[in-house]
């Protein structure tokens, strides 16, 4: 998929017990956690730390850029000042990619809300998207006379948390999050901390996005994060996935797991295993690496080409590597690095005006590998198709490939995501342009042939839904496959899908937010 679609963000939290020499080093661990969550958001990064010995009990630091850019690690002096100012024994962190709103620093997270009363002074980071955002916003504007500044679901969430904290006494945070769950439809993992030092790390009742936690061997350091790889690389042990509808409540030195909402069904986002998550992670006891290997094996079963020595397999780096290698092994073909990713490009605004320029900037085709070959290009997914078309052109023109056969480890994307992935309209998706109506069955050979011709490929094969489900290892009813099947797990998601198609037929290309 290359850069066709992005995840929305990652969250993390740290709590260091006692008065050891590491007690005020929460930021050090937050920084390491965020580095390992960089794949989930590259627009901005930020932290909030807790330190009762400073006037700014909660103090938030956030900037645009990659984690190392934000924490000025290219300058020892500047970086030291940041780590000194924000020292504390507790903290939360966030990396962001914008699925809604602008890309300005003001929308970087965590969001901090100041207040004179400590329980009303809080900061939080969100991983997800509220599908009923429009209804929630309308209620604030019409019934509570609020003024909305940024027009994002994070701002809406901040106001709803604030309303739950009203009163003259600090409420039980279990009750606060229980009440919020009654109002929200969608995906919302939250890392929250108030000026009392109370923390909540919660996973929504459907479990769309992953969330794990663990302790150090001496039980003095607690961490939570969106992916297990982040905790492993910080030395945590006994890493556990937080169950949907549960929250980790840290108060008065105690760490407790509390159920705050009923989980009527699980709906783990299948894209976490296909593309988003680090290949080293284990999510809800399912290895990302193993799932991607299985996807390659299942894809090989669908192969229709008469394989001979003219063929090679080339995975698109990096997320398709495990699947591509497994696919090649099953077909007894060499898996070659015919496409090399330039890992030092980073975010840049001087990358050319066309997608072809962007492909050339981010990837190098190895002509000595590709020239004269029939290349089976394994990629994780095709969403909009624009970048795929340019990649095919690049591999033929620059790489000298004789033929390009696209092999996609994910079934065709046919519906928008209302739960945090950056694809919110039907009009922007490739496959609906060919099928013209919502379809839940596997794509036809005829449609694949038309798409292949239009993107310049010699053939195209997509993974089946059955192969996808089998590869991940969960029953279908425990996965969210809405974007490939049209089967949305939440009430508002179902309504938004109908509206999205209605807008598509009318030629309306704006984001589908309202479920009215």
- String of DSSP letters for 195-254: TT--EEEE--TT--S--EEEE-TTS-EEEEESSHHHHHTTT-EEEEEPPTTEEEEEETTE
Q: How many CB atoms lie within 10 A of CB 490?
A: 26
- pLDDT score of 440: 83
Alpha-helix residue ranges (DSSP H) falling in 302-441? 321-331, 355-362, 367-370, 386-397, 432-435
Q: Are residues 194 and 334 in the same domain?
A: no
CA 392, CA 338: separation in Å to the nearest integer? 13
In sequence order, the β-bridge partners of residue 96 are 9, 44
The pLDDT of residue 349 is 44
Rounded-to-integer distance, Cα 88 and Cα 369, Å: 52
Looking at the chain, the number of H-run helices and the number of E-run strands are 18, 23
Residue 12 near residue 110 (C-beta atoms within 8 A): no
Both 87 and 178 in a single domain? yes
> To the nearest whole percent, how much of the chain has pLDDT over 70?
94
Mapping DSSP to helix (H, G, I), strand (E, B) and coil, where does residue 25 land? Answer: strand
Picking from 389, 399, 411, 384, the residue whose alpha carbon sits closest to that of residue 314 is 399
d(CA 178, CA 250): 16
Last-in-domain residue among 264, 299, 318:
264
451-483 pLDDT tens trace: 999 999 999 999 999 999 999 999 999 999 999
Q: Is residue 21's pLDDT more than 60?
A: no
Domain with residue 71: its CATH number is: 3.60.20.10
Enclosing domain of residue 313: 287-506
Write down the residue that tokens 């992916």 correspond to: 227
- Spatial distance between the Cα atoms of 70 and 94, rounded to a whole number of angstroms: 12
pLDDT tens track for 118-155 = 999 999 999 999 999 999 999 999 988 899 998 889 99
Local confidence band at 20 (pLDDT 50, 70, 90 cut-offs): low
Tell whether 214 and 333 lie within a shared domain. Answer: no
Is residue 322 within 8 Å of residue 292, measured between CB atoms?
A: yes
- Average pLDDT, stretch 24-53? 95
Are 201 and 303 found together in one domain?
Answer: no
Residue 274 sits at φ, ψ, to 5 deg, of -70, -40
64, 171: one domain: yes
Residue 514 belongs to some domain of the structure: no
pLDDT value at residue 101: 47
Cα–chain center distance at 364: 26
Tell which phi-psi region holds residue 252, choosing left (phi > 0), alpha (psi between -120 and 50) or beta: left
Token pair listed for 34: 């965020």
Cβ 86 vs Cβ 100: under 8 Å:
no
On whether residue 242 sits in a domain, the answer given is yes
pLDDT higher than 90, residue 344: no
Kindly tell me the sign of the dihedral angle through the C-alpha atoms of 478, 484, 487, 491: positive
Shared domain check, 211 and 69: yes
| Cα-based distances in Å from 125 to 48, 62, 110, 421 | 9, 12, 5, 17
pLDDT range class, residue 98, cuts 50, 70, 90: low
Task: Copy the structure tokens of residue 87.
Answer: 């020292």
Strand 9-16 relative to strand 221-225: parallel, antiparallel, unpaired?
antiparallel
Within-domain flag for 491: yes
Tokens of 147: 């003024």
List, in order, residues 6 or more apart from 454 with CB less than 8 Å away.
Answer: 389
Question: Is residue 361 a contact partner of residue 351, using CB atoms and an 8 Å limit?
Answer: yes
Pure H helices in 245-320: 271, 288-300
Q: Answer for the pair 279, 315: CB distance below 8 angstroms, yes or no.
A: no
Residue 439: what are its φ and ψ, rounded to 5°?
-135, 135
pTM (2 d.p.): 0.93
The residue with greater pLDDT, 178 or 362, is 178
pLDDT, tens digit, 9 for 90 and up, residues 366-397: 999 999 999 999 999 999 998 899 999 999 99
Mean pLDDT of the chain: 92
Among 125-129, 242-246, 301-305, 435-439, the least confident range: 435-439
d(CA 70, CA 82): 10
What is the C-alpha separation between 236 and 255, in angstroms, rounded? 15
Please check whether residue 254 lies inside any domain of the structure. yes
Domain membership of residue 185 (yes or no) is yes
The tally of domains found in the chain comes to 2
Give the pLDDT of residue 102. Answer: 57
What is residue 272's predicted lDDT score, i.e. its pLDDT?
96
Are 164 and 76 within one domain? Answer: yes
Is residue 513 assigned to a domain? no
Quick one: 33 and 94 in the same domain?
Answer: yes
- Residues 6 or more apart whose Cβ sits within 8 Å of residue 171: 119, 164, 165
The string of pLDDT tens digits covering residues 280-290 is 999 999 999 99
CATH code for position 394: 3.40.50.2020
Query: In this structure, are 129 and 218 located in the same domain?
Result: yes
Whose tokens are 């990096």? That residue is 318
Please report whether residue 293 resides in a domain: yes
pLDDT for the residue numbered 516: 41
In a domain, 122, yes or no: yes
Residues annotated as part of the active site: 9
Note the pLDDT tens digit of each residue in 295-340: 999 999 999 999 999 999 999 999 999 999 999 999 999 999 999 9
Based on the domain organization, do 361 and 296 belong to the same domain? yes
DSSP assignment letter at 319: T
- Mean pLDDT is lowest, of 207-211, 305-309, 417-421, for 417-421
Query: Of all residues in the chain, what percent carry a pLDDT higher than 90?
Result: 82
Q: Give the span between the Cα atoms of 407 and 456, in whole angstroms.
A: 14
Q: pLDDT band for position 352 (50/70/90)?
A: low
Identify whether residues 254 and 294 lie together within a single domain.
no
Do 382 and 415 lie in one domain? The reply is yes
Under DSSP, is residue 272 helix (H, G, I), strand (E, B) or coil?
helix
Looking at 202, 232, 264, the residue that finishes a domain is 264
């Amino acid at each position: 998929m290359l850069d066709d679609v992005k995840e929305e963000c990652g969250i993390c939290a740290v709590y260091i017990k006692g008065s050891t020499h590491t007690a005020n080093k929460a930021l050090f661990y937050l920084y390491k956690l965020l580095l390992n969550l960089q794949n989930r958001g590259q627009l901005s990064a930020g932290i909030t730390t807790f330190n009762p010995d400073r006037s700014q009990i909660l103090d938030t630091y956030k900037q645009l850029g990659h984690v190392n850019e934000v924490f000025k690690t290219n300058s020892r002096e500047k970086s030291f000042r940041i780590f000194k100012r924000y020292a504390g024994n507790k903290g939360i962190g966030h990396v962001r990619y914008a699925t809604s709103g602008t890309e300005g620093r003001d929308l970087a997270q965590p969001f901090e809300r100041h207040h004179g009363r400590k329980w009303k002074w809080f900061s939080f980071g969100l991983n997800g998207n509220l599908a009923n955002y429009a209804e929630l916003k309308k209620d604030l504007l019409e019934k509570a006379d609020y003024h909305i500044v940024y027009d994002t679901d994070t701002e809406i969430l901040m106001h709803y948390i604030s309303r739950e904290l009203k009163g003259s006494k600090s409420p039980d945070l279990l009750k606060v999050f229980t009440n919020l769950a009654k109002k929200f439809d969608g995906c919302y993992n939250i890392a929250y901390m108030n000026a009392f030092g109370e923390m909540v790390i919660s996973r929504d009742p459907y479990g769309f996005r992953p969330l794990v936690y663990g302790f150090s061997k001496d039980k003095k350091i607690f961490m939570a994060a969106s992916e297990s790889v982040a905790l492993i690389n910080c030395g945590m042990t006994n890493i556990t996935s937080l169950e949907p509808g549960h929250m980790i409540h840290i108060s008065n030195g105690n760490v407790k797991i509390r159920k705050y909402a009923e989980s009527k069904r699980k709906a783990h986002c299948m894209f976490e295993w296909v593309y988003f998550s680090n290949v080293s992670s284990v999510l809800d006891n399912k290895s990302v690496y193993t799932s991607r290997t299985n996807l390659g094996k299942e894809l090989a079963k669908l192969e229709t080409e008469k394989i001979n020595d003219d063929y090679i397999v080339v995975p698109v780096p990096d997320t398709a590597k495990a699947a591509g290698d497994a696919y090649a092994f099953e077909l007894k073909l060499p898996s070659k690095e015919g496409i090399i990713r330039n890992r030092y490009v980073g975010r840049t605004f001087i990358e050319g005006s066309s997608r072809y320029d962007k492909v050339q900037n981010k990837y190098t085709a190895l002509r000595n590998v590709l020239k004269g070959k029939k290349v089976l290009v394994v990629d994780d997914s095709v969403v909009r198709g624009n970048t795929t078309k340019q990649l095919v052109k690049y591999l033929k023109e620059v790489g000298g490939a004789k033929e390009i056969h696209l092999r996609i480890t994910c079934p065709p994307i046919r519906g928008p995501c209302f739960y945090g992935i950056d694809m919110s309209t039907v009009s922007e998706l490739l496959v609906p342009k060919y099928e013209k109506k919502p379809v839940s069955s596997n794509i036809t050979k005829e449609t694949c042939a038309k798409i292949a011709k239009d993107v310049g490929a010699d053939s195209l094969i997509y993974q089946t839904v059955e192969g996808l489900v089998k590869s991940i290892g969960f029953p279908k009813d425990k996965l969210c496959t809405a974007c490939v099947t049209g089967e949305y797990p939440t009430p508002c998601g179902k309504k938004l899908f109908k509206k999205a198609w209605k807008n598509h037929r009318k030629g309306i290309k704006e984001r589908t937010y309202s479920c009215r």
